C-alpha cells in the first residue's frame, strides 16, 4: 500500500491484527507490507470459497511460501 494513502482507523486495526497473526505464524512482515496486503486479499478470497479463517490462513501461507521460493535465486 502506498505510504501516502490514508487508512481508515477501523481498517488500520484490522491490518494490525492481521500483521500480528502473520508474525505469530513466523512471517517477517516488517520487511514488506505487501505480504500483509497479499495475505489479506488471499484470506478474504479463500474464505469466500467456504473455508474457515484458519483453513484460509493455512492456504494463503502455503501459497506465499511457494511464491517466495519461486523468487529465490
pLDDT tens readout for residues 34-72: 666 777 778 888 888 888 888 888 888 887 777 766 665
CB 61 within 8 A of CB 68: no
Grid cell of 67 as nine digits: 511464491
Q: How far apart are CA 48 and CA 50, in angstroms?
A: 5
H or E stretch at 9: helix 9-24
pLDDT at 19 over 50: yes
Q: Per 3-state DSSP, what percentage of the chain is helix, strand, and coil (rounded to 5)? A: 70, 0, 30
Domain boundaries, the chain: 30-73
Total-model pTM: 0.45
> For position 38, what pLDDT does the model report?
73
Amino acid at each position: 500500500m502506498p505510504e501516502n494513502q490514508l487508512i481508515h482507523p477501523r481498517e488500520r486495526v484490522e491490518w494490525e491484527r492481521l500483521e500480528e497473526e502473520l508474525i505469530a505464524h513466523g512471517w517477517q512482515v516488517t520487511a514488506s507490507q505487501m505480504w500483509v496486503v497479499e495475505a489479506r486479499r488471499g484470506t478474504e478470497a479463500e474464505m469466500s470459497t467456504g473455508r474457515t479463517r484458519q483453513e484460509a490462513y493455512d492456504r494463503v501461507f502455503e501459497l506465499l511460501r511457494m511464491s517466495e521460493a519461486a523468487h529465490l535465486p
